Amino acid sequence: MSNEEIAQMFLDIADFLEIENVQWEPRAYRKAALTISSLPVDIKQIYEEGKLMDLEGIGSSISKSIEEYIKTGRMSKYDSLSKKYPLDLRAFRKIQGMGPKRAYALYKKLGIRSINDLKSALESGKIRKLEGFGEKSEMQLKHNLESFMKVKEERKMLGYVIDYFEALAREMRKNGPFFSVEIAGSTRRMKETVGDLDILATSDKPQKGMEFFTGMKQVKEIIVKGDTKTSVKLDIGINCDLRIVENGSFGAAMQYFTGNKDHNVKLRKIAISKGLKLNEYGLFKGSTSIAGATEEKVYETLGLKWIEPELRENTGEIEAARKGTLPKIVKYEEILGDLHVHTKDSDGANSLEEMVAAAEGFGHKFIAITNHSKGLRIANGLDEKRFSVFNNKIDKLNEKSNIKILKGVELEILKDGSVDLSAGVLKNMDFVIGAMHQNTNMPRKELTNRLIRAIESGLINTVAHPTGRKIGERAPFDLDYESIFEACKKNDVLLEIDGFPERSDLPFDMVKLAKVYGIRFSLGSDAHRDMQLRFIRMAGAIARRGWLEKRDVVNTMDYKDIQRLKR
Ligand SMILES: [Zn+2]
Ligand SMILES: [Zn+2]
């Protein structure tokens, strides 16, 4: 069973219905698809627990389709629609300007069903002659098709797939004929998006190891199978390479396949300058390997301290490792709680009690519930009155809860830089996040002044998702970031690192820059449902990639010290 397959079928259904001019339903199917593709567990499990309808955006008719698919392997609604519209909508969806209606128009007029059909129609100049298309839109489409072809393999957001990756590696360790199994590549560096998965293993039965790997239920297709390297396509639509290496090369291989490329190029240069040669098999003097079993030894022999994978970007970490001035970056286990969480009282899916229970299960010592305020109507933001009722509920729950619940809010920073709740209400809050969600297309100077006014107001603790970017969706705000950083420093306002995968905001390079200003940071999952609490780890990853130490991150403090933060 693959969540991804069901999600794709729902996206197809949404497109089919859009072609048929059906209102609303396409949106419902797209929402359901998003929910399903971001589940950390097999949907079959949720079905068996009878909890399908608890999922966001899954109503009775959609849950029936899921049930039908789980039971029969078919979905009748999908089958009948896909027979009627035999187009490769999955590919067309990824091309800008090829919405379902346009794709259908091209199918009806020119019989275009696939990317190849589209390509040859564009080459022969047929499209420009069609009514409603013209030369300009043909050129645009050509350009968009080219950029689609360039992205060979779609990158996935690590926050959604890391648990799956780790489960795969765990299963190999537990049941496979391997001595060790480790994940390398950009996953090990905790980059926010990944193109594929690299796994390294050692074994005295490599052939059996490869058999085991290709027989795993997650493997959908074998691309190449060999004794030392096997490539497969996983059922979540991502390629995975397994390499089985010698014990004596394991560290060198981990180093090599972790990257990044620039970091490795620099290391190889250092090796050459010492009369050595570094490759995936080891560090060599002539033909003799002098290091390779462990990464530590490889770095040490090059005259460097071992470097945390998250830092391997060739942005100064190698020089720091040589001088012994590497930062002691914050550890994942030092992050004691989550400072950005929603409940269904605004736009979340779970109740306060459910989120608190999930956070406790997660090992958190505290969470701040930061529902939206009244200015964000589409998120059912709370006004002063609802907040006071809700905060009373938190006080009561705190009396019996094992973890501390901080009273918070994700406040709207309005057009003029004022905020949408009164200072009186905010005084009773433990942690106040300020955010710009609306009217953010202002000229740079105005937008900067708006945010600075909020920072100077003395009403907020931190700036939520400061750049507002959404990966693959929305560009960062046009802000004078250096002025923002200066204002934060001057007013003791934190910057947030929002770990929600699409946001990943601040991005790590800006974190590193902001740290130079002496700013501290708050980390939040921005969870809107219990399972999304796991995204705090992605916020931690960005903190680490941004060279932050324990003292730079307020989530490492006791909740009492967080309550005492100046505002
Ligand atoms: Zn927000
Ligand atoms: Zn939020």
CATH of the domain at 318: 3.30.210.10
Residue 25, domain CATH: 1.10.150.110
Dist. CA 514–CA 495, nearest whole Å: 9
Residue 340 CA to ligand 2 centre (angstroms): 6
Over the stretch 95-127, which tens digit does the pLDDT of each residue have?
A: 888 899 999 999 999 999 988 889 889 988 889
C-alpha of residue 381 to centroid of ligand 2, in Å: 11
Find the ligand nearest to 412 CA.
Answer: 1
Look at the block and give the residue holding tokens 């301290």: 305
List C-alpha distances in Å: 503 to 14, 93, 511. 25, 22, 14
Q: Is the pLDDT of residue 152 over 60?
A: no
Start-end of H helices in 151-181: 158-175
Residues 134 and 186 occupy one common structural domain: no
Let me know: does 494 contact 322? Beta carbons within 8 Å: no
Query: How far does residue 412's CA lie from ligand 1's centre (Å)?
Result: 9
Counting ligands in written order, the one closest to the CA of 468 is: 1
146 plus 225 within the same structural domain: no
Q: How confident is the model at residue 537 (pLDDT cuts 50, 70, 90)?
A: very high
174 and 117 share one domain: no
Contact 245/253 with Cβ under 8 angstroms? yes
73 domain residue, yes or no: yes
Given CA atoms 350, 356, 358, 364 in this order, what sign does their dihedral have? Answer: positive
Whole-angstrom Cα distance, residue 463 to residue 455?
A: 8
Predicted confidence at residue 408, as pLDDT, reads 98
Kindly give the distance from the C-alpha atom of residue 53 to the centroid of ligand 2, in angstroms, as a whole number: 24
Asked whether residue 296 is assigned to any structural domain, the reply reads: yes
Final residue of a structural domain among 89, 116, 150? 150
Rounded to two decimals, the pTM is 0.77
What's the 534 CA to ligand 2 centre distance in angstroms? 15
Specify the amino acid at residue 480. Answer: D
- Give residue 509 CA to ligand 2 midpoint distance, Å: 22
Span 53-59, average pLDDT: 89
Closest ligand relative to 347 C-alpha: 2
Confidence of residue 151 (pLDDT cuts 50, 70, 90): low
Q: What is the mean pLDDT of residues 139-149?
A: 84
Quick one: residue 435, left, alpha or beta (phi over 0 = left, psi -120 to 50 = alpha)? beta
* Spatial CB neighbours of 137, under 8 Å, sequence gap ≥ 6: 97, 127, 128
Q: Which ligand is nearest to the CA of 340?
A: 2
315: CA distance to ligand 2 center in Å? 31
* The pLDDT value given to residue 338: 98
Distance 363 CA to ligand 2 centre (A): 21
Mean pLDDT of the chain: 94
pLDDT given at position 39 = 80
Nearby residues for ligand 1 (ion, Cβ within 5 Å): 435
Residue 266 C-alpha to ligand 1 middle, in angstroms?
Answer: 39
Are 556 and 410 in a shared domain? Answer: yes
Mean pLDDT of 85-95: 89
Give the ligand with the smallest distance to the CA of 528.
Answer: 2
252 within a domain of the structure (yes/no):
no
Q: Are residues 365 and 289 in the same domain?
A: no
Q: How many domains does the chain have?
A: 4
Helices marked H in 231-260? 250-258
Q: Decide which of 279, 298, 323 is a domain's last residue.
A: 323
CB 278 within 8 A of CB 205: no
Does residue 251 lie within any of the structural domains? no
CB 406 within 8 A of CB 430: yes
Question: Does 61 lie in the same domain as 88?
Answer: yes
Average pLDDT over residues 318-345: 97
Q: Give the three-state DSSP class for 162.
A: helix
Ligand 2 centroid to residue 500 C-alpha, Å = 9
Same domain flag for 352 and 468: yes
If you average pLDDT over residues 293-308, what whole number do you get?
98
How far away, in angstroms, is 525 Cα from ligand 2 center?
8
Same domain, yes or no: 160 and 277: no
Q: What is the pLDDT of residues 197-215, one digit of tens each?
A: 999 999 999 999 999 999 9
Q: How far apart are CA 74 and CA 403, in angstroms?
A: 45
pLDDT, tens only, 233-245: 998 889 999 999 9
Whether 353 is covered by a domain: the verdict is yes
Does 266 map to a domain?
yes
> Which ligand gives the minimal distance to the CA of 409?
2
Whole domain around residue 282: which residue ranges?
257-323
- Is 250 among the domain residues? no
pLDDT tens-digit map of 347-403: 999 999 999 999 999 999 999 999 999 999 888 999 999 999 999 999 999 999 999
Q: What is the number of the ligand closest to the CA of 408?
A: 2
Long-range contact list for 440-444, CB < 8 A, 24+ apart? 440/468, 440/477, 442/415, 443/478, 444/478, 444/479, 444/480
Average pLDDT of the segment spanning 263-280: 97
Q: What is the CATH number of the domain that holds 214?
A: 3.30.460.10
User: Mean pLDDT, to the nearest integer, of 486-492?
Assistant: 97
Angstrom distance (rounded) from CA 308 to CA 328: 10
Cα 407 to ligand 2 centroid, rounded to whole Å: 14
User: Of 323, 358, 380, which residue is a domain's last?
Assistant: 323
Per-residue confidence (pLDDT) for residue 150, from 0 to 100: 66
> Is 249 inside a domain boundary?
no
- Euclidean distance between CA atoms 448 and 456, whole angstroms: 12
Mean pLDDT of 168-173: 98
Residues 357, 465 share a domain? yes
**What average pLDDT score do residues 522-530 get?**
96
Nearest bound ligand to the CA of residue 370? 2
Cα 409 to averaged position of ligand 2 atoms, centre (Å): 9
Q: Sign of dihedral through CA atoms 36, 336, 510, 321? A: negative
Give percent of the chain above pLDDT 70.
99
Is 54's pLDDT higher than 80? yes
Ligand nearest to C-alpha 464: 1
Give the residue-averaged pLDDT of 472-484.
89
The answer on 422 and 518 residing in a single domain is yes
Rounded to the nearest angstrom, the distance between the alpha carbon of 437 and the centre of ligand 2 is: 10
The answer to whether residues 317 and 197 belong to one domain is no
430 plus 553 within the same structural domain: yes
Residue 468 CA to ligand 1 center (angstroms) comes to 8
Centroid of ligand 1 to alpha carbon of 410 (angstroms)? 7
Please report, for the domain that includes residue 373, its CATH number. Answer: 3.20.20.140
